[in-house]
Chains A and B, each alone.
Chain A
């Protein structure tokens, strides 16, 4: 009678799994790695998926299908404008939009967006319309008490408001958004005759009166662009955590395989076919992966639920995008989480399966024979790592030579090649370093020599945890330097660009009076008027889409501080050219269109085609759009730009705050301006807001970064714990030879600190390269502008200190256990050794 294949498989699998009963530490390490990797990845993906679902709802509602009509002079639209256009036969529809404050909002100033539509004139098929054609429903919608549409995840907030029309649940609506009839909305928003915008179906190709401008949805700056970059940032950090977690898994699997090589050979000798053995190992992976994925996804969702309100608040304040603060996870999120965990596990376990499939059954009794091949493996690893680094170098050169058309995917490939290449090179480099140390250590330092030799022996087991630590340390240094550099540059740039002490945005009809009044004031040193509008960019005779136009007064104070990245004949000449009729362009436009000082662009304005020479390129951090800067007078004249803001620079004074407050009060009294309606903006408040927004943007990045470092420390700790028993068998002979347990403990900690310091030494150049790649490649591809590279010595010192701290913390538990092990046990281990 012969055994059936399932029974052979079952017995083989049970025998393989019995290993973990004897080595529960390895099982814990394996599951911990999977759990951490999967939890961080799933958490980040849950946030992204939930936010994306909110964006999709918002995009479907707002940006997809209707052209907008605004006044050319920038003044607010009125009911009369709407009536004039309708009388002229134009099929426009009015929309009003405002915000309803929530009395019991979770955070200060929490508001709902209220949109009022006019269903009878709204173009049919528009997302906002959404009427089912039922006459009764339309009647209910049009007459009191009206109807109001709301998404299910906004219901809880809506219930805190009184006197709202009866609610209709509409799952497709974006979060924190209410849609009702224009009359109901006007009452709720207290907007009597005002209209926020007029819309028209894109297929109505009609000529507008010259006082109005039509903007297609394509021409609007994509509100999702910056938010997408934010999510990309989160995804990249999640991916890094996944990779670091998979390093733990790889280390655990490698250790489990090494300790089971003898068992695998015995099973083969006892008649288990190679295929059955591989299948059993694969099933073992699947079992572990399923448990890890389940734990990870559940924890990831909990993590996301904890983080989402903060992320939603950040996205709201940063990018003006409304994200629901409750998780809405699509089906593919769950499937994706399991797939990525299992995929990661099998990629981490592939080398184990490959090695197991190549086991020589005649190698019975040579379970440790693979150690002899270590040197060869290190050479191959160095070669492979070198190839990846060379690939990264080539890609960097390629991306640098195609400036302006950079691909974000290629940028991330560059970072991945850089990190993976360096990680592969780490073990051979550490081995080389230890070899050098062993050669030059004095003969009398016997214990130290033993320590170095022993560390060389430990390298195969430690290398994966060290690689994880290298990735975490370099990511910490790289991202830390990038954020620090960004902060420095951004604040510097804010100081340069926000020269005025106060910004005033008066209504168009007040502008001249207000300007004249300010000019008379003794406390005002100078005025810096600015305007903005947009025009069609013409490149090589073809329309290249809309571009923002910004008008500035090229006064001396502005010329002295306005930063320029590139000029044709120097800083002074660029300003002279601007005054003489040339233009400046922002970095985003320069990179996207491949433009440089000395080139020429054409703009289609309301007065015809305008040709401009480019005199300089300036940095414009945080702006997703291409922009051209001209003297403000020319912008008003040739592009009919509406009146914009007036920057007020105060004369030198002893008490700036008092002078400013006096001026604000005077402006409010005379021109009925108030700082709460955004017509009066204090420069300090603006800077503070910008800085807050900046800090919040990188809070999550920093948190994930720290978490990744924690995971790497965990990898090191679990590696040490998993092999602690085997290590004691190595240390027992030393103890028997008269080395006290206290010295053995110090020796163990010293060994790990040495290995971590070596890793930190490589992490420093890698981290700096990573910063370079982030600011010069990823940032340019994601945002369209490049940051200067800053190196922070304190950050480097911190990296080294972190490595030492991680080493000490990771070595502490095994060292403590060694110190407490009874002499009887050490004696037994000595006999076994």
Chain B
């Protein structure tokens, strides 16, 4: 599903170039779940952005669904993202001017794969059915995060990329959201690459990797 080989990424800083990722290899099979752990600033989010085709590596290659991302132009990368990926952000990034239902179905509609039954199912499973006509600002933090997960799953992606999906929630809400995410992933059969710094959040994942000083290593929990 996802194949990243020899990935190197450097950012310019006032103190000189900073190598965030150094010759990283990562692969993820269809339906597999993987937790990518590491301290703040270790390059987790950068790796996630490269996997999503939001940015390109300085060295190495990223293959998503069999396609080499650096060989695609910006429009084709966007299309690939729209059709095959689901993204969950730590800050939710919901559209404040769209209702809960329209927020949830946004990417599915963009991808031309809106499925009313699936949308209703997600709304019910996420506990948002009674708030479908409300706007994001009228929801609690946990509800907003559940909505963000629902939006990512609505187009039935082959790979879900989640960046600290419970980072803004308290412990109880985080556990609830996580259980729901895991259940929906199992239902939909998509692969999951989750970035987190919490061992508790990472525990249910099938594989665990640690990113430290730009290098990737296995992590035992």
Contact = CB atoms under 8 A, between A and B. Distances in A.
Interface centre among B74, B81, B97 (most CB of A within 10 A): B97
A2 B79 contact: yes
B93 A19 contact: no
Contacts of A23: 97
Interface string B96-131: 111000100011011111000000000000000000
B81 A271 contact: yes
B78 A268 contact: yes
A1 B110 contact: no
Given A8-B110, A265-B93, A361-B54, A273 B98 contact: no
A364 B109 contact: no
Interface string B66-80: 000000001100111
Interface stretch (B22-30, B83-91, B170-178, B182-190): B83-91
A326 to B, nearest CB: 47
Contact of B78 (A7, A20, A271): A271
Given A3-B83, A22-B97, A271-B82, 6 more contacts: A15-B97, A21-B97, A23-B97, A263-B97, A273-B75, A364-B91
A19 B102 CA distance: 13
Nearest to A23: B97
Contacts of A825: none
A274 B74 CA distance: 8
Contacts of B91: 364-365
Nearest to A277: B78
Interface of B: 49, 52, 54-55, 74-75, 78-83, 85, 87, 89-91, 93-98, 102, 106-107, 109-113, 135
Nearest to A269: B87
B95 A1 contact: no
Given A3-B111, A8-B110, A15 B98 contact: yes
A267 B81 CA distance: 11
B196 to A, nearest CB: 17
A362 B54 contact: yes
A783 B112 CA distance: 65
A272 B109 CA distance: 11
A263 B55 CA distance: 19
Contacts of B52: 269
A267 B107 CA distance: 8
Contacts, number: 94
Q: Which 9 interchain pairs have the tightest Cβ spacing?
A: A271-B82, A3-B112, A18-B97, A273-B75, A273-B78, A271-B81, A22-B97, A266-B93, A11-B109
A1 B94 CA distance: 25
A12 interface: yes
Interface string A5-48: 00110011001001111110000000000000000000000000
A7 B102 CA distance: 15
Contacts of B96: 22, 263
A19 B97 contact: yes
Nearest to B85: A271
Contacts of B79: 2, 271, 273
Interface string A261-285: 0110111111111111000000000
A816 B75 CA distance: 49
A274 B95 CA distance: 18
B139 to A, nearest CB: 14
Interface residues on A, range: 20 to 34
A15 B89 CA distance: 19
A654 interface: no
A364 B45 CA distance: 12
B93 A22 contact: no
B163 to A, nearest CB: 9
A276 B93 CA distance: 20
A3 B83 CA distance: 8
Contact of B112 (A2, A276, A365): A2
A362 B111 CA distance: 21
A23 B97 CA distance: 9
25 contacts: A1-B113, A2-B111, A2-B112, A3-B110, A8-B112, A11-B109, A15-B98, A18-B95, A22-B96, A262-B93, A265-B93, A268-B78, A269-B89, A270-B82, A270-B110, A271-B78, A271-B81, A271-B83, A272-B110, A275-B75, A276-B78, A362-B55, A364-B89, A364-B91, A365-B90
A267 B93 CA distance: 10
B93 A7 contact: no
Nearest to A361: B54
A4 interface: yes
A269 B135 CA distance: 21
Interface string A680-701: 0000000000000000000000
Nearest to A3: B112
Contacts of B55: 362
A2 B83 contact: yes
Contact of A7 (B80, B94, B95, B112): B112
A601 to B, nearest CB: 71
A275 B81 CA distance: 15
B80 to A, nearest CB: 8
A812 to B, nearest CB: 29
Nearest to B83: A2
Nearest to A17: B97
A576 B65 CA distance: 101
B75 to A, nearest CB: 4
Given A2-B83, A364-B89, A270 B97 contact: no
Nearest to B163: A364
A2 B107 CA distance: 12
Interface string A581-597: 00000000000000000
Nearest to B80: A271
Contacts of B85: 271
Nearest to B95: A263
A206 B148 CA distance: 94
A22 B87 contact: no
A266 B81 CA distance: 12
Contacts of A12: 110
Nearest to B84: A271
B58 to A, nearest CB: 15
Contacts of B102: 18
Contacts of A365: 89-91, 93
A470 to B, nearest CB: 33
Contacts of B107: 270-271
B112 A4 contact: yes
Given A22-B97, A22-B135, A361-B54, A11 B89 contact: no
Given A15-B106, A364-B93, A269 B113 contact: no
